[in-house]
Amino acid sequence: MLLLGGTAEARELAAALAGETRVVTSLAGRVANPRLPVGEVRVGGFGGPDGLARWLTEHGVRAVIDATHPFAERIGTSAVAAAGRAGVPLLRLQRPGWQPREGDDWRWADTLEHAATLLGDLGERIFLTSGRQGLAAFAACTRQWFLARCVDPPGPPLPPRIHVLLDRGPYPLEKERALLAEHRIDVLVTKDSGGTMTAAKLTAARERGIPVVVVRRPPRPESPTVPDVPSALAWLRHRMTP
C-alpha cells in the first residue's frame, strides 16, 4: 500500500502495519530532517496526478491512504485523481479540527492572507504558528511585531519586525504559557490543524484572554474519510485480505 504521510497519524499507522503488509510511506520532502516512519520511505513528488497514477500501477499498489496534513491540499487533490485513474481504493485519514471552548475568542479566516487583514487593531505582538511557508502572507504587516515558530528557517519575504523561533512539537502547556508571557503576545495566529500535538497554545491563549485568528482548512475532493488510525486500519485490512 502507499501511505501519504508526514503526520503523527501516518507514523502510527506505518508502525501498526509493520510485518503485516508492505507499506511505502511518501514524504513531500519539505522538512529538512523529518521524523521518519517505520518501513520503506519515499521522498519527493510524483509529477502530478498522472505521475502518481503511473506509480500506483507500476508498483502494483492495492490501496492508498492519504494521511497528510489537513493543509496539504495539493497532494490530497492529486491523490484522489490518481487513485481514480489507476482504479485503486483511497481513504483519507484526517484528524478532526479544533472547536472553540468557553472562554475562547476566535476569529475565523479563509486563508493566511485573510488572517493578515484581520489583525487590524487586535494587538501589536503576534504569535504566528502557521509554518514557514505561510509567512509571506504577513510580509506587508509593518506595524505589528511577530514571533514565528517554524521547524526550518524561513526564506523571504518576511514581515519587517519578526523573530523566528526554530522548534518542533509537541509543545507542552507550560512551555506555551511561558512563551506567551516572555514575548508579551497579545494575538495568536494558527491553522486549524487539529490533534493534540500543537493544541496547548490554544489553552494558553484562552487562559491569557487573547484573541486567536484560526485559518480554516482548505477544501478537499470528496473521498471516504475516517478520523483516526484504528478506523484506517480496519478499512485497510478489509481491502488487503486475499
Decide whether 2-96+219-240 matches 106-215 in CATH topology: yes
Q: Is the pLDDT of residue 155 over 90?
A: yes
Class of domain 106-215: alpha beta
Q: How confident is the model at residue 166 (pLDDT cuts 50, 70, 90)?
A: very high
- Provide the strand spans (E) within 119-211: 125-129, 145-150, 162-166, 187-191
Cβ neighbourhood burial of 109 (10 Å; 0-12, 13-18, 19+) = buried
Architecture of domain 2-96+219-240: 3-Layer(aba) Sandwich (3.40)
Q: Tell me if 205 sits within 8 A of 188, measured CB to CB.
A: yes
pLDDT tens-place string over residues 198-213: 999 999 999 999 999 9
Q: How confident is the model at residue 34 (pLDDT cuts 50, 70, 90)?
A: confident
Q: How confident is the model at residue 242 (pLDDT cuts 50, 70, 90)?
A: low
Domain-by-domain residue ranges, the chain? 2-96+219-240, 106-215
Q: How confident is the model at residue 192 (pLDDT cuts 50, 70, 90)?
A: very high
Q: The pTM is what?
A: 0.92
Q: How confident is the model at residue 240 (pLDDT cuts 50, 70, 90)?
A: confident
pLDDT tens-place string over residues 126-146: 999 998 989 999 999 999 999
